[in-house]
Chains A and B, each alone.
Chain A
Amino acid sequence: MVIQVEQLRYAYPGTTKPTLHGMSFEIGRGEIFGFLGPSGAGKSTTQKILIGALKGYEGSVTVLGKEIKSIRSDYYEQIGVAFEFPNFYSKLTVLENLRLFRSLYQGETEEPSILLKQVGLEDAAYLKVSELSKGMKMRLNFCRSLLHRPSILFLDEPTSGLDPVNAAIMKELILERKAAGTTIIITTHNMQAAEELCDRVAFIVDGQIKLIDSPRELKLRQGEKKVRVEYKIGSELLMEEFSLHQLADNNRFLHIMRHYEVQTLHSLEATLDAIFIEVTGRSLL
């Protein structure tokens, strides 16, 4: 396992109420793992502990075989972090920013211009960061986290504030890194992004993990094993549901398929949103 967490508890200095109450989970090599939960649930605190920004925790947090409490600055040679807000030196150009961050690593690094090309920012290399759009900054943020070829990537709300085109580009970039063998930890409250990207998700509410599983398993397990058909007879729109069990032998279903104009056809697995609400009793917003 790349990450092993056992009975993690954390309270911010000066507060008596703990933010995390005994979390345990494991993340395997090459996995995309998502932390899902509403604001204030403890997702960001968990990520801050995993990236070594908060060390006063109880329990055990091991990343790449090292207890986080005892890590030194060379830990950051192995992990890449892209925060939700893509912050850069705004008066420096895109390339100057990447060159600066690249110079802080001692291990092998990527050539910034190659990374920029991969994310479609090669034409923006000499623009000041203050001149970039949000979508461009998010891609640049992603680029920065990859400069030193990290084996683990922490992404905080990677599609936050992006239009559908840029969100799709970002998802594609993340999947490319997974294909290259990088372990990716995503913190988000965007269920759709989590569904599309994550191998497993953890639902976090009030500093506790309520459930961990793959989105597909969750959707199938919690959903109805049915298919819903919307079809038209003349100008009338009708809807019927059929059990998936021996659907190919269901005469009524086959009749509709053969004789009427089918408008939509959907299996009724649950959505992650619905599962989250059912499991936690809370909405993500």
Chain B
Amino acid sequence: MRLIKMIRHDIQFQWRHRFYFAYMVVCSVYLLLLHGIPSGYKEKTAMLLTFSDPSALGLIFAGGILLLEKDQGIHDCLFVTPLRLTEYLVAKACSLSLLSLIAAWVIHGFSLGMPSSPFLFSLGVLLSSSFFTLLSIGVVVRTQSINGFILLIQLYALPFTIPLLSLLDWGPRMLYSLFPTYGSLLLLSSIYRPIALHEIIYAIGILIVGNIAIFIWARHSFQQRILLG
């Protein structure tokens, strides 16, 4: 199956460009940081780290990968094969989500042990990472350089960090619930508290809707700016 082959290739590409090595270093820093955090704050800090980094890993890596591919001029060659744009984008989201999941488990496993709900924790990481990967792809096709990308991605990603304010009990929950990332926080909070069924349904639902919406936007952006650009 072509999608599986593209996922395997993306992992090979990320490995060859030492993305995994770079992330191992980052994970080690996080583990050291968590080691120094008092036990009362450790779980919330681990959840924040999982949200802000392994989940959002796609945000930076997807942009970097696309810039490397653009620099190597590979897109024209890829899209005169039977490869569909959908397969290309889904492969990127899957390969980076997998890396996020491994990183999240390493950080969590070494600092806090097994999450209380491994399935919800994993699902939260996967859906959040794919969301940010696709967001990153939609942004990076609008830029030509790494500097331009870093500036623009902050602009696009900032609104999705608004639900973090809910951790401080600021503002109305209704407002936060409009953001897919609120769903991420709910699922990731399963590492330190039980989540009600309606919260699980809402969180998975909003993340799936968010992923579909951002996929459509990323696909359209890629089509217009890379393939027809």
Residue ranges of B at the interface with A (Cβ–Cβ < 8 Å) = 2, 5-6, 9, 12-13, 16-17, 72-74, 76-84, 227-228
Contacts and interface: CB of A to CB of B under 8 A. Distances in A.
B85 to A, nearest CB: 9
Contact of B228 (A13, A76, A77, A96): A13
Contacts of A87: 72-74, 76-77
B81 A88 contact: no
A272 interface: no
A260 interface: no
A204 B73 CA distance: 27
Nearest to B74: A87
B5 A103 contact: yes
Nearest to A73: B82
B82 A144 contact: no
Interface residues of A, number: 26
Given A76-B80, A81-B80, A104 B5 contact: yes
Interface string A52-93: 011000000000000000000110110101010101111110
Nearest to A103: B5
A105 B72 contact: no
Contact of A106 (B82, B227, B228): B82
A83 B76 CA distance: 8
B83 A88 contact: no
A90 B72 contact: yes
Given A13-B228, A85-B73, A103-B5, A91 B17 contact: yes
Contacts of A77: 82
B72 A89 contact: yes
10 contacts: A13-B228, A81-B80, A87-B72, A89-B72, A92-B12, A96-B12, A104-B6, A105-B82, A106-B2, A106-B82
